[in-house]
Structure 1
Amino acid sequence: MPTPASAFPGDRVAGRTALVTGAGSGLGRAIALALVARGARVVGVGRTQQSLEELEEAARGLSGSVRTATADVADPVAVTALAAELADETVEVLVNNAGIAGPVAPLVDVEPEDWDEVFAVNVRGTYLMCRAFLPGMVERGEGDVINLASVSGKRPLTRRTPYTASKMAVIGLTTTLAYEVGPAGVSVNSLSPGPVDGPRMHRNFALEAERTGTSYDEAEAAFVSRAALQRMLTEEEVAAAVVAMLHMPGLCAADIDLSAGMVAR
């Protein structure tokens, strides 16, 4: 039987084991560190050993702990091996953050292999990780899955069709899966950040400036002017939202917009 919400302690992070994909850099690293800082045992998964070692170093002295493992979440064999490697862990929280931006080009210029790569990481990777780690949550009658989607899956973003289509697919996966495992006491939600200040957006502004014949600063200013807060998000703000979602035990089948006001509804 599912555990009633009233049985959960006030702190829904400390003492729990959280698996975070794409944990070696960017949003994944920020999410992993935010969870460790609040007392979680984090299993950080990524494709590059060096970046995972840097995560371990950054987490030293925080109240929780970190264990890392390398895996390509888009590879079924690698995910099966990862699940076997982590058989000694009780994964109570799964944060599917691993993703790639894909090409910046009109749809007719996107090569099929580039389209497939985006869906392999962003969608199949989420599916494979859920497939591997949900059974334990269902058996225990408790768990949280947070899938990183994007507001780009719900608003026009020209020349980015593979990415936007993949993120809308993640939202669809989330809502349907929530109804499959919700009766067992497992909550599945998605978080849809808006633009996050970092290398990906810097690349996009440079490409947009080149395409339109404007400066980098002009391209950035035109983009952020769409947001109510007139700025992009920080990685730390997205990480804080993940922590907040875990402290809402009644949240299920939800998609949360975190966009600095770029999406309003």
Structure 2
Amino acid sequence: MKTILITGAGTGLGKELALAYAKRGDRIILVGRTKESLNDVKDLIKRTKGSSLVASCDISDGQAVKKLIERLVSIEKIDMLINNAGIGYFGNLQDLSIEEISQMIDTNIKGTIFMTKEVLPIFLEHQSGKIMNIISTAGLRGKVRETAYVASKFAVRGFTESLIKELEHTSIKVSAVYMGGMNTPFWEGSDFIKDPSRLKSVKQVAKEIVEREDEEQMIIS
């Protein structure tokens, strides 16, 4: 059994990854901003006799992340970090607000880097651990009406590829997951995707990620 910390674990892919790994027998640390949704996932895991812990945190706040990991390390041995939390706003660049752009940069890039920075010393101390960054195919190629979102994902891709090189002589494993659009609450409040139900099932994507966990680069179209 591994202890896996998943960010953005209250909804969408994070939720399904939490359920899938818990079903496999792993202990899950559910991290996100909204405690209510995290507790809902915790209850679902409990119903299947799984084990989990809720820890609310704004991962775009570096000091909050530092305090979170310090607290968790005192009670848990984290074996794997899944940087899943992400936010997206879509449209022509000139129509995006400064706040929307900042939120994408802060959550998608800074959140991933802050979480990794605080967990990595623990992995290095134990000479074991895995970091999985959920990036999306927006980190592979440019897309119309996704300029700032794609920029944030390209940044996470560069961060991940550099981290792989930085840790290549250690026992720490780093992987990147690039998946297309899924039928998740991610699209709520947006008219960018007219019919999310036609997209790939998030449960199916989560299942494939768990099955292919050992791959350094995973592309799920």
TM-score calculated relative to the size of structure 1: 0.77
- Cα shift at 1:242: 2.6
- Distance in 1 separating the partners of 2:48 and 2:128: 26
- Are the aligned partners of 1:30 and 1:235 in contact in 2 as well (CA < 8 Å)? yes
Gaps of 5+ in 1: 1-14, 209-215, 225-230, 260-265
Q: Which has the larger radius of gyration?
A: 1
Q: Which piece of structure 1 moves more, 138-147 or 104-113? A: 104-113
- Distance in 2 separating the partners of 1:138 and 1:244: 25
Instruction: Output one character per residue of 1:169-221: Cα deviation in whole Å (capped at 9) or x when no partner.
Output: 111111110121232201111101101012334655x346xxxxxxx46xx7x
Instruction: Output one character per residue of 1:45-99: Cα deviation in whole Å (capped at 9) or x when no partner.
Output: 0111111110111111435310110000100111011012202211111000011
- Distance in 1 separating the partners of 2:91 and 2:199: 22
Determine the structure 2 residue equivalent to 1:256: 218
Determine the structure 2 residue equivalent to 1:7: none
Percent of residue pairs bearing the same amino acid type? 33
- Are the aligned partners of 1:195 and 1:201 in contact in 2 as well (CA < 8 Å)? no
Please list, as runs of the form range in 1=range in 2, the aligned pairs for 1:50-61 lying within 5 A after superposition: 50-61=36-47
Q: Which one of the candidate residues 31, 34, 43 is aligned to 1:48?
A: 34
Q: Which piece of structure 1 moves more, 58-67 or 125-134? A: 58-67
Determine the structure 2 residue equivalent to 1:232: 199
Instruction: Output one character per residue of 1:145-171: Cα deviation in whole Å (capped at 9) or x when no partner.
Output: 110101122234211111111111111
Q: Which one of the candidate residues 145, 148, 153 is aligned to 1:162?
A: 148
Gaps of 5+ in 2: none
- Distance in 2 separating the partners of 1:60 and 1:199: 23
- Distance in 2 separating the partners of 1:167 and 1:255: 15
Give SS of 2:91's match: coil
TM-score calculated relative to the size of structure 2: 0.92
Give SS of 1:182's match: coil
Please list, as runs of the form range in 1=range in 2, the aligned pairs for 1:84-163 lying within 5 A after superposition: 84-87=70-73, 88-102=75-89, 104-163=90-149
Count, aligned residues: 220
- Cα shift at 1:20: 0.2
RMSD across aligned positions (CA): 1.9
